[in-house]
């Protein structure tokens, strides 16, 4: 049974016939963004809840924005510390629409499957726990007790603990995440895949190896006082809009911004601050003063070209290199033998571009490099990020004010979840501390990451799949294969706020366990509870929901995880699940003894604005085996295709948060009313004999065969020849499960080899 809308017979809402295209924008935000925020909020929630919600969003006594992980400015927050896309995320959470048991009675799985992702989200907030029993095609209400007992029975019936998989998406609070990993480990498995496996895993792997920490080394203050910012593989106008005001401050302070992106993204070009008079009138601050339209996956070559320039010019920081690094000789030998021609071919840039950028960095010294998915989702992602680190090491641009590495995280608490132990291979020291705190033996063999879990599920080696948030089916690569994998489980469980397609592709039995959103008041025994989150700059702070919950039947994520664990583990457990569920301070007390640098956790989060987690690399202490930061001398590479084919990247439109589709516009790229589009270089389209707006089929090529995504409209768009782009999740069917980044295992969602042909279904 298909649970996807037929792409060749689209629903009226996604009727691509009415697709509009216009000129891409030259700046982001401004008043249109504010109007768009309020339109989304008002149409989905009503005026009172809108104002209540906005006034508590990102305030020190309020709740953390459920959208991205960009930090809040300290000291000078405005009354509305939010952005257009934060408002959309909030509107989606505090919507007045409801998915109650009657909704499921009226809609079979097949009927829900015919709805688009946007319609599923717009259906509203889930109100009751529901179950899909074997052989039936409607979810029906179930009590919390019965749901916990049903799940417990499946977990207790597994041949081995490794027949369980626990997936986490990055919106879960620290408290829920800590309990989730504890449950998995008390059950006896490290099978803890998370969205990070598909996201910044490559950054963590590269940085841990090179500089000893897997997290960013800068703060907002550093951004403000930087001399130069390299913004690589990131579209902040859409995905981290609050970053634009930080960039504006940096530029006004004299920082030099260089954008590195195959597409000319509006948010990199200019920013009209909606809360400044000029911005409101449409005057924008120019952001990037240099724009390198690198070829997809050409970044490693670019960085190597910069490194070569620095070494040849002799503009490197010899004292730093001598005192703090290893591998310099080997690396410089490599640079010496590197010819410019190869660097130019692989990067798609000119030698002068690389030299100019390097010289600017050498002149300004205080370099910050920010990056996101444009660097992490390629086969050589880890080597590319290590090459970024190489440039920083040559300049000594790390561990000093105004300089450092800044992987810009996605989900609002994805970094915190990892800190709390959501990882299939936590270090031994974490296990030891966990064992000591809870007086048990946690399993030591590494567990499965996202791709390995899909493979194992597909092979029938997983009985119970339990997800703390997220939309596994739509976020994972190889949609059809992942669907089969989910269907091979006995039980699939989703702890979540909103309906999504993962709820329609299920194990023999399925549970949807609806939880409170971050904006909602969480009362346990009449006492309001706070949770905590960690942002992209390692600041841990409290978040307290203030709004009335969407339904009186909802439980918090923390209480649901505790309820499941208590039922599944029964007498065997050494964890006071019930007490934890009723008082999150007790969870934080345990965290303070298990997780490094969380001493006096409860005290410290009561300080408005929270606290900054210790980062050794920030102080030039290198937590690596050699005690030094390491140059990487990896073999230069870039993804290429056979002639006539294209490198496809899958990216986000302006109207989505990952798999949650808020609307059908991608305003800054000039797209209106449609998502099934593929952006292609105008000359390439001509050469293919394809007209603008002509329907095309995309076929991806991989060692195991081809995959087809039918009927996308071809949109001519400036970018390097041989590259193209389409939206995720529609294009995920094209991403082969086996195509992953070396070392980090991240699916290569930004380098997929495709051919573009006139559609068989025009
Ligand atoms: N509103 C909103 N906010 C979000 C999200 C959302 O979906 N919506 N998602 C959140 C999450 S989980 C994440 S991880 C982040 C994602 O934030 P981004 O990484 O900004 O997200 P993408 O849309 O994947 O954009 C990738 C950008 O990298 C560029 N790019 C692609 N390939 C390459 C390359 O090879 N080299 C270079 N230099 N550039 C390249 C693309 O052209 C695009 O501009 O955003 C977070 N914030
Ligand atoms: N092709 C391709 N694939 C990609 C990417 C790409 O760029 N290209 N990006 C990857 C990246 S960077 C990421 S991070 C993943 C994202 O993967 P996921 O994190 O799995 O996906 P989301 O779309 O963020 O999850 C949305 C769902 O989370 C649930 N939810 C929302 N709020 C809450 C909450 O407060 N609590 C709970 N428990 N549930 C909640 C809702 O049910 C909602 O439907 O996708 C990855 N997949
Ligand atoms: Mo992400």
The string of DSSP letters for 357-379 reads HHHHHHHH--EEEEE-HHHHSST
d(CA 157, CA 152): 8
User: Sign (positive/negative) of CA torsion 575, 581, 587, 589?
Assistant: negative
Token pair in block for residue 486: 């989910």
Is the separation of the CB atoms in 269 and 30 below 8 Å? Answer: no
Compute the C-alpha angle 684/686/689, nearest 5°: 115
Distance from the alpha carbon of residue 372 to the mean position of ligand 1, in angstroms: 6
Which bin fits 399, alpha (ψ -120 to 50), beta or left (φ > 0)? left
Domains of the chain: 16-23+641-758 (2.40.40.20), 98-199+415-530+554-600 (3.40.50.740), 201-408 (3.40.228.10)
What local confidence, expressed as pLDDT, does residue 272 receive? 83
* Whole-structure pTM value: 0.97
Tell me which residue of 472, 674, 547, 580 sits closest to 174, measured CA to CA.
580
- Return the best residue to mutate from 171, 533, 560, 651 for the ligand 2 pocket (most ligand atoms within 8 A of CB): 171
Residues of the chain with pLDDT under 50: 10-15
Instruction: State residue 178 phi and psi, 5-degree precision.
Output: -60, -45
194 lines ligand 1 (CB under 6 A): no
Give the binding-site residues of ligand 2, using a 6 Å CB cut-off.
66, 169-172, 195, 198-199, 373, 377, 410-411, 468-472, 475, 495-498, 500, 515, 517-518, 557, 650, 658-660, 728, 731-732, 735, 749
Helix (H, G, I), strand (E, B) or coil at 543: strand
d(CA 180, CA 184): 6
Is the separation of the CB atoms in 95 and 123 below 8 Å? Answer: no
Residue with CA at minimum distance from ligand 1 atom 47: 239
Q: Considering only CA atoms, give the Rg of the chain.
A: 25
What local confidence, expressed as pLDDT, does residue 118 receive? 96
d(CA 73, CA 65): 13
List for the chain the helix, strand, coil content (%; round to 5).
40, 20, 40
Residue with CA at minimum distance from ligand 2 atom 12: 199
Numbers of helices and strands, H then E, in the chain: 31, 33
What local confidence, expressed as pLDDT, does residue 11 receive? 42
- CA distances for 485 relative to 85, 223, 506, 510, 731, angstroms: 32, 43, 9, 14, 19
d(CA 370, CA 408): 6
What local confidence, expressed as pLDDT, does residue 32 receive? 80
Task: Return the ligand number nearest the Cα of 169.
Answer: 2
Distance from the alpha carbon of residue 239 to the mean position of ligand 3, in angstroms: 10
d(CA 608, CA 571): 40
Tell me which residue of 492, 499, 554, 490 sits closest to 166, measured CA to CA.
492
DSSP character for 729?
T
663 lines ligand 1 (CB under 6 A): no
What local confidence, expressed as pLDDT, does residue 8 receive? 63
Distance from the alpha carbon of residue 169 to the mean position of ligand 3, in angstroms: 9
> What stretches of 377-478 show up as alpha helix (H) in DSSP?
381-395, 414-419, 428-438, 450-458, 472-475
The string of DSSP letters for 497-529 reads SB--GGGTS--SEEEEEEB--TTB--EETTEE-
Tell me which residue of 520, 556, 560 sits closest to 166, measured CA to CA.
560
d(CA 39, CA 663): 12
Token pair in block for residue 635: 């073999």
Tell me which residue of 454, 440, 411, 441 sits closest to 165, measured CA to CA.
454
What local confidence, expressed as pLDDT, does residue 13 receive? 42
d(CA 569, CA 466): 15
């Amino acid at each position: 049974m298909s649970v996807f809308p037929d792409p060749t017979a689209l629903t009226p809402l996604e009727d691509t016939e009415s697709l509009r295209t216009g000129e891409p924008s030259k700046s982001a935000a401004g008043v249109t963004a504010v109007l768009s925020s309020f339109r989304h909020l008002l149409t989905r929630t009503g005026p009172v809840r809108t104002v209540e919600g906005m006034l508590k969003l990102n305030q020190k006594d309020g709740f953390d924005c459920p959208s991205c992980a960009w930090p809040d400015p300290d000291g000078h927050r405005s009354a509305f510390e939010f952005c257009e896309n934060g408002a959309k995320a909030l509107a989606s959470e505090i919507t007045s629409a409801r998915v109650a048991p009657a909704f499921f009675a009226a809609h079979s799985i097949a009927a829900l499957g015919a709805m688009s992702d946007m319609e599923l989200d717009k259906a509203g907030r889930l109100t009751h726990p529901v179950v899909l029993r074997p052989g039936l095609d409607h979810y029906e209400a179930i009590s919390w007790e019965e749901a916990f007992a049903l799940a417990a029975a499946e977990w207790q019936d597994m041949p081995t603990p490794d027949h369980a998989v626990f997936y986490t998406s990055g919106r879960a609070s620290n408290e829920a995440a800590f309990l989730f990993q504890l449950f998995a480990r008390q059950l006896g498995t490290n099978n803890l895949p998370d969205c990070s496996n598909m996201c910044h895993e490559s950054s963590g792997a590269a940085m841990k190896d090179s500089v000893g920490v897997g997290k960013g080394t800068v703060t907002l203050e550093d951004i403000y006082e930087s001399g130069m910012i390299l913004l690589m593989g990131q579209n902040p106008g859409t995905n981290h809009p609050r970053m634009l005001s930080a960039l504006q401050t940096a530029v006004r302070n004299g920082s030099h911004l260089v954008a590195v992106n195959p597409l000319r993204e509006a948010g990199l070009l200019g920013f009209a601050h909606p809360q400044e008079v000029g911005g409101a009138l449409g005057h924008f601050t120019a952001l990037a003063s240099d724009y390198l339209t690198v070829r997809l996956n050409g970044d490693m070559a670019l960085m190597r070209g910069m490194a070569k320039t620095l070494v040849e010019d002799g503009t490197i920081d010899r004292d730093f290199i001598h005192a703090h690094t290893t591998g310099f000789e080997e690396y410089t030998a490599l640079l010496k033998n590197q010819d410019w021609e190869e660097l130019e071919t692989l990067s798609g840039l000119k030698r002068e571009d690389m030299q100019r950028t390097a010289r600017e960095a050498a002149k300004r010294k205080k370099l910050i490099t920010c990056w996101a998915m444009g660097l992490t989702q390629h086969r050589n992602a880890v080597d590319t990020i290590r090459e970024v680190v190489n440039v920083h090491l040559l300049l000594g641009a790390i561990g000093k004010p105004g300089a450092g590495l800044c992987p810009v995280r996605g989900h609002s608490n994805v970094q915190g979840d990892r800190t709390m132990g959501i990882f299939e291979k936590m270090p031994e020291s974490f296990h030891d501390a966990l064992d000591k705190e809870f007086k048990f033996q946690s399993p030591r063999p590494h567990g499965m990451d996202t791709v390995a879990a899909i493979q194992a599920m597909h092979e029938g080696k997983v009985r119970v799949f339990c997800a703390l948030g997220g939309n596994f089916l739509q976020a994972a690569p190889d949609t059809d294969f992942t669907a089969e994998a989910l269907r091979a489980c006995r039980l699939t469980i989703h702890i979540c706020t909103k309906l999504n397609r993962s709820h329609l592709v299920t194990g023999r039995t399925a549970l949807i366990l609806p939880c409170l959103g971050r904006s909602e008041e969480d009362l346990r025994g009449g006492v309001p509870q706070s949770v905590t989150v960690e942002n992209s700059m390692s600041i841990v702070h409290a978040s307290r929901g203030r709004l009335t919950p969407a339904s009186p039947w909802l439980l918090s994520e923390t209480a649901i995880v505790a309820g499941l664990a208590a039922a599944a583990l029964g007498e065997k457990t050494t964890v006071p699940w019930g007490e934890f569920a009723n008082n999150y301070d007790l969870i934080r007390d345990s965290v303070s003894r298990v997780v490094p640098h969380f001493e006096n956790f409860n005290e410290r989060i009561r300080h408005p604005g929270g606290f900054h987690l210790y980062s050794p690399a920030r102080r030039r202490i290198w937590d690596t085996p050699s005690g030094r930061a390491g140059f990487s001398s990896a073999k230069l590479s870039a993804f290429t295709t056979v002639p006539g084919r294209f490198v496809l990247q899958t990216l986000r439109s302006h109207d989505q948060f990952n798999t949650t589709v808020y609307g059908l516009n991608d305003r800054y790229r000039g797209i209106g009313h449609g998502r099934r589009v593929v952006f292609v270089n105008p000359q390439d389209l001509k050469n293919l004999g394809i007209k603008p707006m002509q329907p095309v089929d995309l076929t991806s090529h991989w060692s195991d065969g081809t995959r087809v995504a039918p009927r996308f409209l071809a949109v001519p768009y400036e970018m390097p020849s041989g590259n193209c782009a389409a939206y995720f999740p529609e294009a995920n069917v094209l991403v082969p499960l086996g195509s992953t980044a070396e070392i980090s295992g991240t699916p290569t969602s930004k380098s997929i080899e495709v051919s573009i042909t006139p559609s068989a279904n025009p």
